[in-house]
Amino acid sequence: MVDSAEKEARKALARLRRAVEKSQKELEGLVGAIRMAEGKDFPAEDYAEVEDRLQTVSDFLEEEGQRLEAKILQAGGLEPGRTRRSSV
């Protein structure tokens, strides 16, 4: 059984992942609107840097999710990577 602290960690990780994904989509919309408004004056490098930072956060969350999953499996006596999901 998953410890309540691990369960809460998984929920928090999922919430943050969704927030980052939403931020990435919102940033895309902002880029489109500002690019149209500013034309050649659009600070493309600045926005590319922000996109990279959000991707870095997203990558971190993916790694944390994998680490947490491995820890939960190990606590349950299973080896990470040795489980198969059934196709129901």
Q: Once rounded to an integer, what is the mean pLDDT over residues 43-59?
A: 97
The pLDDT assigned to 75 comes to 75
Residue 5 pLDDT level (bands cut at 50, 70, 90): confident
d(CA 69, CA 75): 10
d(CA 58, CA 39): 29
The answer on pLDDT for 26 being more than 60 is: yes
- Residue of 12 and 2 predicted with greater confidence: 12
Q: Extract the tokens encoding 72.
A: 């939960």
Q: Once rounded to an integer, what is the mean pLDDT over residues 35-62?
A: 97
Residue 87 pLDDT level (bands cut at 50, 70, 90): low
